[in-house]
Amino acid sequence: MSNEVNTDLLKERSTATFDAERLTEFIYKGPEKVKRKRQIQNIVLQDKFLQSFKPTEFYDRDGQYNNAVRRQIYIMDRLEELGFRSETDRLNFREAAAPVELSPFGLHSGMFVPTLERQGTPEQSRKWVPLGKSFKMIGTYAQTELGHGTFIRGLETTATFDPETQEFILDSPTLSSIKYWPGNVAKTVNHCLVMAQLYTQGKCHGTHLFLVQVRSMEDHTIMPGLEIGDIGPKLGFDGVDNGFMKFNKYRIPRMNMLMRYAKVLENGDYIKPKNAKLTYGAMVMVRVWIVMDAFKALSRATVIAVRYSAVRRQSELRPGGEEAQVIDYQTQQYKLFPLLATSYAFLLAAEGMSQIYAKISSDIERGNLEDMPQLHALACGLKAFCTWVGCEGIEVCRMSCGGHGYSHASGIPKIYANIVGACTYEGENTVMMLQTARYLSKSYFRGQRGESLPELIQYLTIDLNVKSTLGEDCSFESLVAAYSHRAARMVATACKLQNANKQKGMPSHDAWNKSTVPFIAATKAHCHLLYAVYGIVENMGEFMQDGYFNQDQISILNRKVLALLEDIRPNAVALVDAFDYPDHLLQSCLGRYDGQVYEALYENSKSSPLNNTDIHSSYYNYIRPMMQKRSKSKDISAKL
Amino acid sequence: MSNEVNTDLLKERSTATFDAERLTEFIYKGPEKVKRKRQIQNIVLQDKFLQSFKPTEFYDRDGQYNNAVRRQIYIMDRLEELGFRSETDRLNFREAAAPVELSPFGLHSGMFVPTLERQGTPEQSRKWVPLGKSFKMIGTYAQTELGHGTFIRGLETTATFDPETQEFILDSPTLSSIKYWPGNVAKTVNHCLVMAQLYTQGKCHGTHLFLVQVRSMEDHTIMPGLEIGDIGPKLGFDGVDNGFMKFNKYRIPRMNMLMRYAKVLENGDYIKPKNAKLTYGAMVMVRVWIVMDAFKALSRATVIAVRYSAVRRQSELRPGGEEAQVIDYQTQQYKLFPLLATSYAFLLAAEGMSQIYAKISSDIERGNLEDMPQLHALACGLKAFCTWVGCEGIEVCRMSCGGHGYSHASGIPKIYANIVGACTYEGENTVMMLQTARYLSKSYFRGQRGESLPELIQYLTIDLNVKSTLGEDCSFESLVAAYSHRAARMVATACKLQNANKQKGMPSHDAWNKSTVPFIAATKAHCHLLYAVYGIVENMGEFMQDGYFNQDQISILNRKVLALLEDIRPNAVALVDAFDYPDHLLQSCLGRYDGQVYEALYENSKSSPLNNTDIHSSYYNYIRPMMQKRSKSKDISAKL
């Protein structure tokens, strides 16, 4: 590899009108933190073992899983040696050390141990948490079943209390009750927190969590009474052993039910939890993380696409001139610059969400549940919105790299494959949107009754007859007003349809279902407040159906969006540089900081496993015999 | 597997209001052809060898390529034995025998041999075509380079004539000139048609085709002077050996240039072709095929998603009621039913395109080139439109299957991964759209000058002041008028911006570039005439920016789209059944005709390669040592 930076990229960087380093400091909250982040990333870069892995797509699933186990154990050991205390430091190390790989112990540390801590009794925690922390117990969390996902009440796995033996009998009574999808169940863990319907004294008390040993802690053999296996290959998460698990009247001690809130006594009496919603925080937290994941995924794709667009030259912009940087095509700018802006918007949204989450969850811990619906609605809506928009955007970035985007060497297919799962896991997106929609509907009707609304949704009560004051300057206030107006109008329209359906005599669940399409649109509009001019132009119909904008204002916006592309153009590369993702994190031949994309592609190709031999075995086994058979009868000279 | 059909699917089929079999007959052009198609698919189903392959995602790339070679040679042999004469029969056999696999000999038969036939002189054809047909020569077509794709004039590979030896010297003078992407170059072929810049007598005459031997026909060794290899793993096309190829002053005989149109004489004189556009038809034909591919991909995804949505039950639609079929959720209907309609629209578009292609290309062969621009514009626009819309739709179908859609067992990830390549190959979509845009722009200005326009674009001259007459019935005429109005208005707007840019003093290429975003939007509108109510509602802003619809009409359309969902609901399953895709073609656990989805998923999982052992080797190599090391210091009892 040459050490030179591509001249187009050099020029982009020297002509930017702001200092990318200052923006990096803003993103990571100060120069000290940037420095620290880079130090940690450098430790990884200097680590020969960590740098010895080939690109993940060069391995098959077996090899990818094997690598994940091997590397993640090494990472855990190194983290202990390094002794980082800050979670940010640890995260930076893990991300740099394994940028596209999920840890087989991630659910152990992120879900299993914390849930034992939070939902076990003090005695249970004292007993199990040390076993978890010392990896005697390796665990995960098993909820989803073949026939049941987002709707937890529908789970079918049963845990029936047997007072005779003081045991619960775990059972999978139907095909659709088989646990299916839980991460790391297939090969890695020896314990599972299993969500099951609790039965005692002949009565069902809904879903509860049970600690279930699934493999021997001595020799890893599967416990008798269980059937466990890998569910098979997926779109992404190649190296993850998502598993299935079938219980055949499998017995566990009574004390393996997590009993901090609900309990089953020795005689089989069931004691209800005081507040059913207290276990709810973890789900919200995971959704906040997902918004951050969407930011990371989209921003990485954007870095790759923007840098490559500055390096790639294709076709003549001026007849007879040299081939142009593709970033100079207006159509390319219109694809990428709004996604660049979206990346920044997602970052701010994720950080805002985290702050709101921290505040509200400390309120909740003090017993103040008032803001929980608001937090829930916000987390559901943004989880769905950011994953949908982010995933679509990543594919746009990939295709904006032309044919090379289709190669794994671009790095983008893996980014997409991994994040797109988030559209359907941890709450399927449409279901999430509808939870937010319910909240908007309730809030709308409360507003109509004159009740006061939380700050984030006070806009639902604005006067919809007021028209836009947007002028040539497209002021920030006029844009916010437009988004508020549009969302408020669409929520009102959906609510009115819901009401009209009721008045036609539909039962209320039917009236709701038959207005959910407009509600989804309204909820997207509610989440869309992250945007500015582009969001209006792309969704013009929703903004103008009631005459909110006049003809002149529409023309202003259409002109403005094209003008903004030219404003951003000189700073596009600096704006992606500011994310400060080192090459070994991006894992992309196209997104390299030095822009030496063709050299990188060529070098990468040469090490593809299919190049281990010059002549593939299938030539000897199939092609040569076929050629011989076919040419035999025809006696054709081989000489050209 | 049980042989019963899922009761929900049974009910869907019995309550449909039309006979799916009649629609199948319409799709395949008569009951005889349906019968014939099924017979052929049945031959495949009875073939033990063809049914012996496991799902493709259970193999690594090496295995997938090996399977492809093995199976496709078998298919060629069987086709010879069966002696099908009709291309439809052969296609039906091939599709049923290898539904998600590309043949390593597909480019040989589809591009290499036909190009020798069409672009070789009679003597060249006589010499080479029999060698190709007898598979002594196995060939492909090499055009794309590391640095050059859609813009063919930019290719850098050179073919320099040396009159001394009567040879061409093929060379890759730069890194970016290395051939990169051509299918089957890496491992399969021994010959290549190479697109290269022809140099003779010190002058460049642009790109021409050369027949180049790349491997020995005796032992398959790579010819000296060439560097050849696999480019590495991609998003899809896993089993295809897309290759790179570098020429190091590699010599071929003068007569290996395809000389039907252009020629290089012994003395090095260059003879120009009479008409440069005559070689153009193949590219148009490939784009027509791609529209058909987009139909097949989207319709398969739709079949899977609609059937699964009828089988899958999730959440309560009515509180306390049984879990509802997800197809009964309005939001699910809004995702799937427009895509079901789009599938039918794509089928009709692909067939219409084929007919126009046949007519115009026979005109062209008779020397009448008048309609060529129209055909070109149509093929470019529909290729881009149908692949973009189809690919987005496939992902919507996949995600509408919830978490299970993410598993390869759903069959949808492979459909997406393979067809999405078509957005960037054979002409990158935005470039394709801009070709159509150029045609629309030229036509618009011709229309403004009073010249007559071809039928398909006569709408560009309609009076834009006429408002919509759409009423409660949403008549077909009023919908067509709306789409025409919208497209005509958007083309006019883009053209006016182009003109205004010129009048501001921009050079014309700049004026064009700076109006391409509105032109892309206008071109999409032009292609969008396939649609009806849904297309208007989803793009309302574009239809109403000039007041074409009044408030009442907008309300009518918004109501209509929801009402249509209910109209389609009872026939959704029958509408997908009508495509008549047998299970062994769909390769989907979720899209099975019998709806036994959970049984299928569970059985499929059990045979996943990661289940070959109960305990993965990484346990012994890494997990157990880690556990021992960590528990050693802590001496914690393992007893729970």
Contact between residue A312 and residue A274 where contact means Cβ atoms under 8 Å apart? no
DSSP state of B154: G
3-state per-residue secondary structure call for A496-524: HHHHHHHHCCCCHHHHHHCCHHHHHHHHH
What is the H or E stretch that residue A550 is in?
A: none
ipTM exceeds 0.85, yes or no: yes
pLDDT at B276 over 70: no
Confidence of residue B633 (pLDDT cuts 50, 70, 90): low
Residue B617 binned pLDDT confidence (cut-offs 50, 70, 90): very high
Q: Kind and range of the H or E element at B569?
A: none
Partner residue opposite B626 with nearest CB, options A135, A434, A514: A135
pLDDT over 50 at B524, yes or no: yes
Written as six digits, the tokens of B493 are 């707007």
Would you call B610 and A127 a contact, using CB atoms and an 8 Å cutoff? no
- The conformation of residue A53, written as its DSSP 8-state character, comes to P
Query: Does B11 have pLDDT greater than 90?
Result: yes
Catalytic residue of the set A21, A351, A392, A426? A426
Q: A186-214 burial string, b = 16+ CB within 10 Å, else e?
A: bbbbbbbbbbbbbbbeeeebebbbbbbbb
Q: Between A234, A402, A598, which is nearest B406 by CB?
A: A234
What's the CA gap between A15 and A20, in Å, rounded? 12
CB < 8 Å from A in window 84-123 of B: none
Closest by Cβ to A175, choosing from B65, B602, B640? B602
User: Contact A187/B608, CB-based, under 8 Å?
Assistant: no
Looking from the CA of A568 toward its CB, the CA atoms found within 13 Å total: 24
Instruction: Report pLDDT for B5.
Output: 96
Give 3-state DSSP helix, strand, coil % of chain B, rounded to 5. Answer: 60, 10, 30
Kindly state the average pLDDT of the residues A44-61. Answer: 95
Q: Do A318 and B509 touch (CB under 8 A)?
A: yes
Chain B residues lying within 8 Å of A622, measured CB to CB:
69-70, 73
Residues near A592 by Cβ (< 8 Å), separated by ≥ 6? Answer: A307, A583, A586, A600
Query: For B81-90, how does the pLDDT look when each residue is reduced to its tens digit (9 = 90+)?
Result: 999 999 999 9
CB atoms within 10 A of CB A454: 15
pLDDT above 70 covers what percent of chain B?
98
What is the pLDDT, as a whole number, of residue B365? Answer: 77
Tell me whether residues A424 and B434 touch, CB distance under 8 A. Answer: no
Nearest residue on chain B to A554, alpha-carbon basis:
B545
pLDDT in tens, A361-384: 888 778 888 888 888 999 999 999
C-alpha dist (Å) from residue B243 to A590, B139, B140, B237, B424: 18, 13, 11, 12, 17
pLDDT exceeds cutoff 70 at B354:
yes
Would an 8 Å CB–CB cutoff place A1 in contact with chain B? no
Distance (Å) from the alpha carbon of A227 to chain B's nearest alpha carbon:
10
Q: Are strands B323-325 and A226-230 parallel, antiparallel or unpaired?
A: unpaired
| Tens of pLDDT, residues A89-127 | 999 999 999 999 999 999 999 999 999 999 999 999 999
Rounded distance, CA B546 to CA B467, Å?
A: 9
B289 contact A CB<8A = no
Mean pLDDT calculated for residue range B607-613: 94
At A196 the three-state DSSP class reads strand
Instruction: Look up residue A316 and give its two tokens.
Output: 């003549």
B206 touches chain A (CB under 8 A): no
Q: Which of A59-73, A537-551, B289-303, B607-621 has the lowest mean pLDDT?
A: A537-551
Chain A, 10-49: which have a CB under 8 Å from a chain B CB?
Answer: none
Reply yes or no on whether the pLDDT at B634 is more than 70.
no
Q: Name which of B428, B515, B628 to mutate to probe chain A: the one with the most chain A Cβ atoms within 10 A of its Cβ.
A: B428
Q: What are phi and psi of B166, to 5 degrees?
A: 55, 45
Task: Please name the member of B403, B542, B617 whose beta carbon is closest to the beta carbon of A149.
Answer: B403
Contact B431 A636 (CB under 8 A): no
pLDDT(A640) > 50: no
**pLDDT: which is higher, B150 or A499:** A499
Instruction: Retrieve residue B446's tokens.
Output: 């011709």
Contact (CB<8Å) A610/B187: yes
Question: What pLDDT, on a 0 to 100 scale, did the predictor assign at position A387?
Answer: 97
d(CA B342, CA B331): 17
| The two three-digit tokens of residue A286, written as one number | 């995971």
Using a CB–CB cutoff of 8 Å, tell me whether B584 touches chain A. Answer: no
Minimal C-alpha gap between A406 and chain B (Å): 6
| pLDDT class of B278 with cuts at 50, 70, 90 | low
Query: Reduced to 3 DSSP states, what percent helix, strand and coil does chain A have, rounded to the nearest 5?
Result: 60, 10, 30
> In the block, which residue shows the tokens 């582009």?
A534
| Average pLDDT of chain A, as a whole number | 94
Predicted local confidence at residue B640, as pLDDT: 37
- Single out the residue of A270, A399, A417 nearest to residue B433, CA to CA: A399
pLDDT value for A278: 58
Q: A314 — contact with chain B (CB < 8 Å)?
A: yes
* Short-list A628, A612, A611, CA closest to A620: A628
Of B66, B403, B515, the CB nearest to A425: B403
Chain B residues in contact with A636 by the CB 8 A cut-off are: 130-131, 134, 136
Indicate the pLDDT class of residue A85, thresholds 50, 70 and 90: very high
Please give the pLDDT value at position A637. 39
For residue A216, the tally of other CB atoms under 10 A from its CB is 13
Is B144 flagged in the annotation as binding? yes
Residues of B with CB below 8 A from A425's CB? 403, 406
Angle of helix A61-82 relative to helix A87-97, nearest 10 degrees, comes to 150
In contact, B149 and A314? CB cutoff 8 Å: yes
Give me the residue from A232, A315, A636 closest to B608, CB to CB: A232
Reading the block at residue A233, the tokens are 């290959």
Both tokens assigned to A3: 């050490």
Q: Give me the mean pLDDT over the B487-494 stretch.
A: 96
Whole-angstrom Cα distance, residue B583 to residue B468?
A: 46
Stated pTM of the model: 0.96
SS3 A486: helix
Collect all residues of chain A within an 8 Å Cβ-Cβ radius of residue B222.
614
Q: What is the pLDDT of residue B29?
A: 96
Chain B residues with CB-CB distance to A615 below 8 A:
187, 220-221
Minimum Cα–Cα distance from B546: chain A residue? A551
Q: Are B409 and B602 in contact (CB under 8 A)?
A: no
Residue A176: exposed, middle, or buried by beta-carbon count in 10 A (0-12, 13-18, 19+)? buried
Q: How many CB pairs under 8 A join A and B?
A: 408
Task: Please classify residue B281 by burial: count the beta carbons closer than 10 Å to its beta carbon, then call 0-12 exposed, 13-18 middle and 19+ buried.
Answer: middle
Give the residue among B184, B186, B174 at the shortest CA–CA distance from B146: B174
Task: State mean pLDDT over A419-445.
Answer: 95
Do the beta carbons of residue A219 and residue A198 sit within 8 Å? no
CA–CA min distance B226, chain A (Å): 12
The pLDDT of residue A363 is 85
**pLDDT recorded at residue B1:** 59
pLDDT at A410: 98
Q: Rounded distance, CA A31 to CA A21, Å?
A: 9
Tell me which residues of B are annotated as active site. Answer: 426
Was B200 annotated as part of a binding site?
no
Sequence letter at residue B392: E
Radius of gyration of chain B (CA): 28
> Strand runs (DSSP E) across B74-214, as ranges?
139-142, 158-162, 167-171, 179-180, 191-200, 203-213
A134, A188, A315 member nearest B634 (Cβ): A134
pLDDT of residue A504: 95
Q: Report the residue of chain A nearest B178, measured CA to CA.
A: A602
Nearest-neighbour CA in chain A from B550: distance (Å): 9
**Sign of the Cα pseudo-torsion (A111, A115, A117, A123, in order):** negative
Per DSSP, the residues of B19-35 read -HHHHHHHHHTSHHHHH
Amino acid A277: pLDDT: 63
**CA–CA gap between residue B58 and residue B40 (Å, rounded):** 27
Residues sharing a CB contact under 8 Å with residue A624, sequence separation 6 or more, in sequence order? B220
Cα A64 from Cα A50, distance rounded (Å): 14
| Per-residue CA distances from A26 to A30, A125, A353, A357 (Å) | 6, 40, 18, 22
Note the pLDDT tens digit of each residue in A221-276: 999 999 999 999 999 999 999 999 999 999 999 999 999 999 999 999 999 987 76
Q: Kindly tell me the sign of the dihedral angle through the C-alpha atoms of A353, A359, A361, A363.
A: negative
Q: How many CA atoms lie within 13 A of A280 on its CB side?
A: 17
**DSSP characters over B399-459:** HHTGGGGGBGGGSHHHHHHHHGGGGTSSS-HHHHHHHHHHHHHHHHHHHHTT----GGGGG
Query: What is the rounded distance in angstroms from the CA atom of residue B191 to the CA atom of residue B170?
Result: 14
Please state the rounded mean pLDDT for residues B569-580: 98
Quick check: B318 contacting A, CB < 8 Å? yes
- In angstroms, what separates the C-alpha of B160 from chain A's closest C-alpha? 20
Integer Cα distance of B16 and B391 in angstroms: 29
Distance from CA of residue B589 to its chain's centroid? 23
